Structures are given as structure tokens and as C-alpha cells.
């Protein structure tokens, strides 16, 4: 198995192990080595040994390209022990490399692509579904915006949200608050206030989030995401759609959310949205420089966005 995303390889390896080797036999009939630590003699001894109190054995070699003497595996692969399974994985192996070309001639290759964009949103929704929970794709996208695109971190946050969501099968916006200092509801109060030019609500929401130690970089990231959404909606309106149609096309399905987003698209101008994104980029650079207190920068940013 190959993938640039080690998390996907580890998950697939775990699923394969649980399907092929019963839990009670894994201590006796399962072994995992990293390529840089494995010795060829140990690998061959495990593979050529009959299963103990079971039907099959499974050996995993992670980062197979790091295994010294990997070429000597070919002799085994030509005449393998039918009771032993060998899984070789790599997050770095190129299809043009000698190890790949040689070893793939004697084995089945599975490739896992890292999800991005809409595919990542679907990956998050599917993961919730496997845990017995339904989540609206919009909320999956919000979770990605909150925690970033590292699959391992996303998976951890999904587990956290599932555990805290109770017995219901529907994940709500409030359930995501476990991943957001101050609560996801307050974050969206801030975004909606900015879109509606409600200065009092915007500053009040910002103060609440700062008091709850919400990371300034995260707040700027969410504001930028909201303004990019509005700019995309404005482009759809300019192509001939109504604000409501543009909101629906962007996945705003629920009536309250759709109406709110359509209203914000209608009142925004393209020039103002572009200037807002420029202000956000400038604030982000200043935050990273650390020369001005983050509270001052965020207060100034929100006032600029409301102007």
C-alpha cells in the first residue's frame, strides 16, 4: 500500500489486521516492523513459520523502501508461504523507483490518495457515519476550517465530537463547540455580525471569544473563510443567479442559513469583499510578526471590516 498520507496507511493496516487476524490471535500471529529497523532474517522466519493456534499470519513492514536488502524478498515472494500474508506500506515510495517496480511485480498494489476540498468534506461525513452519526456537509466543512486539514487531528476531533454528542444520531453546530474555545456558536455570531454590519454584536462576540482564549490566528482564518464564501456567492450572482439561488448552489440548504447568507451576499459589494480579504491578510502577517498585541490587531481588524 502506498500513500503520501501515513494516517491513511495506518488506518488501512489496522482494518486489514482486524479483518484477517482474530483479536485473540494477534499477539501470536501478527508482527509489524519499520523498514529501517527490520532484519531480513527475522522477516523470513516469521513468514515461513506456520500460524500458531490460527489459520494465518500477517507481517507488516512500514516504509518498505528503508529495508536493507529488500531485493532478497523477491525470492520469498516467488514462492510464499500460503498461510502467511505480507503487507508492505510506504508514504514515500515513488512508482518510478526500483523497489516499487520490483516488489509490485509480485504483489497487489493499493494506492490511497489524500482527500482535498469536497473529497475531504465527504471523508469527514463518512467518518461520522461510520460512528453512527449524521452530519450536514456544511458542518463537516466547518470542522475542517476549525481544526485544519491534518487527517490525524481531524479524526481525533471527530471522535471527541461523537463522544460528547450523546445518544442522538444528528451532529449539530452546538456539538462542534467541543472543538472550539468559546463555542462554535459564538464564532458564527461573529461571522454573521460582520456580514450584517452589526457592530455591537461583532465586537461583543469577539470579546467573548478572546476571553475564552480562542487563538487569534484561528479567528482570522474563520473570518477569511466567511469572506471568501461571500465573494464566491457574489460571483454567482453576477453570473445571473439570485442571492437565494447562489446560497443554495453553495450548499446553504436550511432556510434560516440560506436566507441569512443570501441577505449578506445582497448587501456586500465585490470591492468591499476584496478589501476585507486584504485587511485579513494584513492582520495575519502582523499576528505572525508578534510586534503588536493580538487583541489590538483583532479590534482594529473588526472595525476595518465593519467600516
* Angle ∠(30,36,40) on CA atoms, nearest 5: 60
In sequence order, what are the beta bridge partners of 88? 61
Q: In the prediction, which pLDDT does 144 show?
A: 83
Name the maximum alpha-carbon separation found in the chain: 75
CATH number where 271 lies: 1.20.272.10
Q: Give dist(CA 2, CA 196) in Å, integer.
A: 47
pLDDT in tens, 213-271: 778 888 888 888 889 889 988 899 988 888 888 888 877 765 577 788 889 998 888 89
3-state secondary structure of 136: coil
Residue 1 lies in a domain: no
> Are 162 and 227 part of one and the same domain?
no
Q: Are 39 and 67 in contact (CB under 8 A)?
A: no
Residue 256 lies in a domain: yes
> Are 205 and 302 part of one and the same domain?
yes
pLDDT in tens, 76-111: 999 999 999 999 999 988 889 988 999 999 999 999
* Angle ∠(40,42,43) on CA atoms, nearest 5: 65
Residue 160 lies in a domain: yes
> Are 102 and 154 part of one and the same domain?
no
Residue 121 lies in a domain: yes
Q: In the prediction, which pLDDT does 212 show?
A: 78
3-state secondary structure of 2: strand
> Are 165 and 264 part of one and the same domain?
no
> How many alpha carbons lie under 13 Å from residue 152 in its C-beta half-sphere?
5
User: What is the number of structural domains in the chain?
Assistant: 3
Stretch 178-193: mean pLDDT, rounded?
74
> Are 188 and 175 part of one and the same domain?
no
pLDDT in tens, 4-28: 888 899 999 999 999 999 988 999 9
Q: Are 231 and 237 in contact (CB under 8 A)?
A: no
Stretch 137-156: mean pLDDT, rounded?
81
pTM: 0.60
Domain termination residue (choose one: 53, 79, 106) = 106
Q: Which domain holds residue 229?
A: 184-306
Is the pLDDT assigned to residue 29 strictly greater than 80?
yes
Q: In the prediction, which pLDDT does 297 show?
A: 92
> Are 69 and 54 part of one and the same domain?
yes
Percent of the chain having pLDDT more than 70?
A: 95
Amino acid at each position: 500500500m502506498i500513500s503520501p498520507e501515513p494516517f491513511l496507511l495506518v488506518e488501512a493496516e489496522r482494518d486489514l489486521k482486524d479483518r484477517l487476524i482474530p483479536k485473540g490471535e494477534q499477539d501470536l500471529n501478527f508482527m509489524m516492523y519499520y523498514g529501517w529497523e527490520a532484519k531480513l532474517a527475522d522477516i523470513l522466519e516469521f513468514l515461513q513459520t506456520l500460524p500458531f493456534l490460527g489459520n494465518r499470519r500477517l507481517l507488516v513492514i512500514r516504509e518498505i523502501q528503508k529495508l536493507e536488502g529488500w531485493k532478497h524478498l523477491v525470492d520469498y515472494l516467488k514462492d510464499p508461504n500460503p498461510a502467511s500474508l505480507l503487507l508492505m506500506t510506504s508514504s514515500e515510495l515513488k512508482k518510478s523507483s526500483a523497489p516499487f517496480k520490483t516488489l509490485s511485480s509480485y504483489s497487489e498494489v493499493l494506492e490511497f490518495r489524500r482527500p482535498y476540498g469536497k473529497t475531504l468534506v465527504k471523508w469527514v461525513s463518512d467518518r461520522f457515519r461510520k460512528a453512527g452519526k449524521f452530519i450536514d456537509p456544511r458542518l463537516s466543512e466547518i470542522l475542517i476550517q476549525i481544526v485544519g486539514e491534518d487527517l490525524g487531528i481531524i479524526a481525533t476531533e471527530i471522535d471527541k465530537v461523537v463522544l460528547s454528542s450523546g445518544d442522538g444520531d444528528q451532529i449539530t453546530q452546538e456539538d462542534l463547540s467541543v472543538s472550539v474555545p468559546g463555542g462554535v456558536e459564538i464564532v458564527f455570531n461573529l461571522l454573521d455580525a460582520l456580514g450584517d454590519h452589526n457592530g455591537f454584536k461583532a465586537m461583543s462576540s469577539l470579546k467573548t471569544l478572546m476571553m475564552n482564549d480562542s487563538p487569534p490566528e484561528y479567528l482570522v482564518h474563520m473570518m477569511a473563510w466567511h469572506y471568501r464564501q461571500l465573494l464566491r456567492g457574489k460571483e454567482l450572482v453576477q453570473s445571473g443567479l439570485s442571492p437565494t439561488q447562489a446560497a443554495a448552489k453553495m450548499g446553504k440548504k436550511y432556510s434560516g442559513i440560506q436566507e441569512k447568507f443570501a441577505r449578506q451576499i445582497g448587501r456586500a459589494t465585490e470591492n468591499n469583499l476584496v478589501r476585507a480579504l486584504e485587511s485579513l491578510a494584513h492582520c495575519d502577517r502582523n499576528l505572525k510578526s508578534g510586534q503588536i498585541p493580538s487583541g489590538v490587531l483583532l479590534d482594529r481588524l473588526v472595525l476595518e471590516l465593519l467600516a
